[in-house]
Amino acid sequence: MRNLFKTKAGLVLEYTVLGHGEPVLVMHGGHSNCYEEFGYDELLARNYSIITPSRPGYGLSAKAIGHTLETACEAYIELLDYLRIQKIHVVAISAGGPSGIVLASRFPERVRSLVLQSAVTHTWLTPKDSLYQTARFMFRPTVEKYLWSLMRLLHNWIPSAMFKHTIVSFSKRPKKEILPQFSAEDRELYRRMLNRQRSGHGFLLDLEQTGNDWTAAISTIQCPVLILHSKYDGLVPLEHARYAERHIAKSRLYELESWGHLIWLGEGAPDMYREWFAFLDQQRA
């Protein structure tokens, strides 16, 4: 169920809480929100509870919370205080990577462990990149709602054709190699992902903030860190994972043989889950 929390500054932070057990805070990726699903059933089955705020500009969360990543992380700590959660495991996904990095760096006493999944960890897209300019046009607030409405319409109308057309953008491998790896359940999870996606003001904030250098923050992380990244990620290069491993003292990188960016889908997913939960279970209170 959706919840709305008001920060000390009077700004709204949307969030969900699922399950009962040791708490995990999820920093969702770009175009997502507090209704993220990847990995959730698996976490709940292992008796973790999941707290997911919609990051600033996504869902109903105020854009102003994300004036900087530091102000956003202060809001997350306020939320944890409200929920009476002292220490937490953090999972940071894709464009949510910098949020997890800054949170672990600034509030070491509150973060028990950090898992980076397909995560941005240093400078990603900048105004010099053509993809940056394209993304700024396609996902600006006046356009994105129509774009995502069209995507939902097509994926619900002709799901198989749209899956084959769009899934390749997440991988460096040829289409003929990756398509056989997906089950009917994987395809349904992918369709549901697209049905919940919106950019709001959030993705433009992500573009602005992921263009920054986070070396100072990432180098001071004290908690144990697991980095999970596909060798064939077509959106966030593997170098982001290797960069994190070089700069975080207590980190371990597991380079996945899975097909691409969405490491929860496809034949390689069980390998990812095995590494993730072995690490997470070791860090339990």
Residue 172: the pLDDT is 98
As a whole number of angstroms, the distance between CA 42 and CA 33 comes to 19
Residue 96 has pLDDT above 80, yes or no: yes
Residue 275: the pLDDT is 98
Residue 1 has pLDDT above 80, yes or no: no
In the chain, what are the domain boundaries?
Answer: 2-127+198-282
pLDDT in tens, 107-142: 999 999 999 999 999 999 888 888 888 899 999 999
Residue 130: the pLDDT is 83
Q: Which long-range contacts (CB under 8 A, 24 or more apart) does 7-11 make?
A: 7/65, 7/75, 7/78, 8/78, 9/64, 9/65, 11/62, 11/64, 11/65, 11/75
Residue 190 has pLDDT above 90, yes or no: yes
Query: Up-side HSE of residue 239: CA atoms within 13 Å toward CB?
Result: 4
Average pLDDT, the chain: 96
pLDDT band at 58 (very low <50, low <70, confident <90, very high): very high
Residue 91: the pLDDT is 99
pLDDT in tens, 197-215: 999 999 999 999 988 888 9
pLDDT band at 285 (very low <50, low <70, confident <90, very high): confident
- pTM above 0.95? yes
Backbone phi, then psi, for 211, in 5-degree steps? -85, -5
2-127+198-282: which CATH number, 3.40.50.1820, 3.40.5.10, 3.20.20.70, 1.25.40.10?
3.40.50.1820
Identity of residue 252? R
**Which residue in the list 32, 49, 94, 99 is annotated as catalytic?**
94
Residue 276 has pLDDT above 90, yes or no: yes
Residue 129: the pLDDT is 84
Per-residue tokens: 153: 């319409």
Question: Rg of the Cα trace of the chain?
Answer: 18
pLDDT in tens, 70-89: 999 999 999 999 999 999 99
pLDDT in tens, 35-45: 999 999 999 99
pLDDT band at 61 (very low <50, low <70, confident <90, very high): very high
Active site residue 94: yes
